[in-house]
Amino acid sequence: MTIPSAIAIFWILIAIGLFGLVRLRLARRALDQDWAPLARFGHALQRILQSHGHDDDALGTLRELAPRMRAQMVAFVRRRPGATSADPFGEIDIMARGLAAGASPAEAEAGRVALDALQGQVLAYESFLQAEMKVLGRATPHPGHWLASGARGLVLLPLGLALGGNVEQRARRRDLEVDPRMLAVASAVLALLALALVVAIAALATEWLGSLQG
């Protein structure tokens, strides 16, 4: 294997690492974009509780953000233990009626169930995003994590999910990036490139030693 081959492999690894660094920075920006509506939703939910369902502005905010929250959480909810197909974001009005002072016992019970489901999902998703922020904060300074992120990005390129995307695509990307099969393929890509680089360096060293002996 020639010197140009070894240099080419080295630069390929550098390019993958830089690609991974870009992906990590964009992922942090995407987390910020997903956190902002979640914070608004949580604040509006708190106002609904404090007003016993009578804060119309807060109720309007919950209705406005419900589709966004549903889209953000679709992949996250699917991974949660004991996840069901129930959609607590479709029961915001049921929750508000149940919180009202004049609610019947049946409405109050339905509202309590809807509130518990909504709060549980929102709080769990909030914890998930906070954990993601911590992981990205630890990963960004380390070149090894850049390479891993870059390799995952290469695997996601054919799906159009390596970079950017709307809220649904970001949710799908997060789901795929923890899939064991995808991680195995990304690890194999890095392992093959590293092996090729080691073989190239070993071949060059052998040639150099042979020239000295000759």
Q: Across all residues in the chain, what is the average pLDDT?
A: 81
Domain membership flag for residue 147: yes
pLDDT tens per residue across span 168-201? 777 778 778 878 888 888 888 888 888 887 777 7
Domain membership flag for residue 105: yes
pTM here is 0.65
Domain membership flag for residue 154: yes
- Residue 64: band (very low, low, confident or very high) from pLDDT cuts 50, 70, 90: very high
> CA 171, CA 186: separation in Å to the nearest integer?
19
**How many residues are present in the chain?**
214
pLDDT the model gives residue 62: 92
In eight-state DSSP terms, residue 85 is: S
Domain that holds residue 175: 3-208
pLDDT tens per residue across span 80-125? 555 455 678 888 888 888 888 778 888 889 888 888 888 888 888 8
For tokens 């004049």, name the residue: 102
Domain membership flag for residue 213: no
> CA 173, CA 159: separation in Å to the nearest integer?
10
Domain membership flag for residue 127: yes
Could you give the number of structural domains in the chain? 1
> CA 140, CA 58: separation in Å to the nearest integer?
37
- Percent above pLDDT 90 for the chain: 7
> CA 12, CA 2: separation in Å to the nearest integer?
16
In Å, how far are 164, 205, 213 from 172, measured between CA atoms? 12, 45, 57
Domain membership flag for residue 90: yes
Domain membership flag for residue 8: yes
pLDDT the model gives residue 28: 85
Residues with Cβ within 8 Å of 211's Cβ and at least 6 positions away in sequence, in order, are none
In Å, how far are 62, 66, 74, 75, 143 from 70, measured between CA atoms? 11, 6, 6, 10, 34
- Residue 65: band (very low, low, confident or very high) from pLDDT cuts 50, 70, 90: very high
Domain membership flag for residue 131: yes
Measure CA of the first residue to CA of the last residue in the chain; give whole Å.
19
> CA 158, CA 146: separation in Å to the nearest integer?
20
Candidates 184, 188, 154, 160; CA nearest to 172 is 160
